[in-house]
Structure 1
């Protein structure tokens, strides 16, 4: 798999045990606007122009379902699951769903760490990054995400690689 097809996600969001009720209850986590604000976009490490694929991914319900499948794929992947051994999985899912929502042009606000902060000291390799990408692509296939939307999402997340790969 080409390096540029790999994605970088917040794989070390273990900070708090608190999972906001918005994730558990199915709330949209929206800030009320039609798209994330500039600070949220910067915090989520989004690169390039944002295209609105929020509805294509099924809105917040679809993004949460994709996030759950993706995290399940990663947990079952022996090549990389050890990176998550001590992760707070509910918090990880919440932060990823927020980040994905912002990347996909949704109205969410990402409040998690930057990718540089989240991955500092984890010694993530390019190979691990690529396995994560494969797990995301499998999750998108499971959820029948159209190819154009998949390509956009992977490209946005792949742009985060320099902040993720540390070894």
Structure 2
């Protein structure tokens, strides 16, 4: 994990470590009242089994960080545009991600790389002109 020449996947600890982070992260976002105040997100969070969602996110993170896994889910744009995710909801999502990475003591350098990767998906996920305020229930 200390070899700077190793892939991000290897520096994160491989599939088991990534799956552990994804497990906690998905548990957090699935019940977040701020994210679920968006009725489209709330419905999506309850439409599919959590285990399958975690599986696909794990595949995606592993592939994006240089692992041998291949992401088999839908394109980010196809699976998110209809959810009308706002910039502020993206910020809440990112805050949960940061908190979980901190919980697992992921070093700052690796966190920075992860956030750069996640940031490349923002344009396919966030709808800039989506309604900005929703009330958490």
Q: Place the TM-score, normalised by the shorter chain, in its bin.
A: 0.7 to 0.9
Using the alignment, how far apart are the partners of 1:88 and 1:130 within structure 2? 25
- Matched with 2:54 is 93
Answer yes or no: is 1:123 the counterpart of 2:84. yes
Bigger radius of gyration, 1 or 2? Answer: 2
Residue of structure 2 in register with 1:135 after alignment: 96
Question: Which residue number in structure 1 is paired with residue 35 of structure 2?
Answer: 80
Task: Give the Å deviation of 1:88.
Answer: 2.4
CA RMSD of aligned residues (A): 1.4
Unpaired runs of 5+ residues, structure 1, are 1-50
Query: C-alpha displacement at 1:57, in angstroms?
Result: 1.4
Q: Partners of 1:122 and 1:95 in 2: how far apart?
A: 18
In the alignment, structure 2 segments of 5+ residues that lack a partner are 1-5, 131-137
Q: Where do 4+ consecutive residues of structure 1 move more than 4 Å?
A: none
Retained in 1: the 8 A contact 2:76–2:124? yes
The 2-side partners of 1:95 and 1:81 are apart by: 20
Deviations 1:145-165 (A, max 9, x none): 110000000111111111001
Residue of structure 2 equivalent to 1:55: 10
Q: Work out whether residues 115 and 164 of structure 1, in 8 Å CA contact, stay in contact via their aligned partners in 2.
A: yes
CA 1:87–1:131: 2 relative to 1, 3 Å: farther
For 1:36-63, what per-residue CA distance to the aligned partner results, in whole angstroms no more than 9, with x for missing partners?
Answer: xxxxxxxxxxxxxxx8211221110001
Higher fraction of helix? 2
Task: Classify the secondary structure of the residue corresponding to 1:130.
Answer: helix
| Matched residue count | 117
Distance 1:107 1:89 in 2: 23
Partner of 1:107: 68
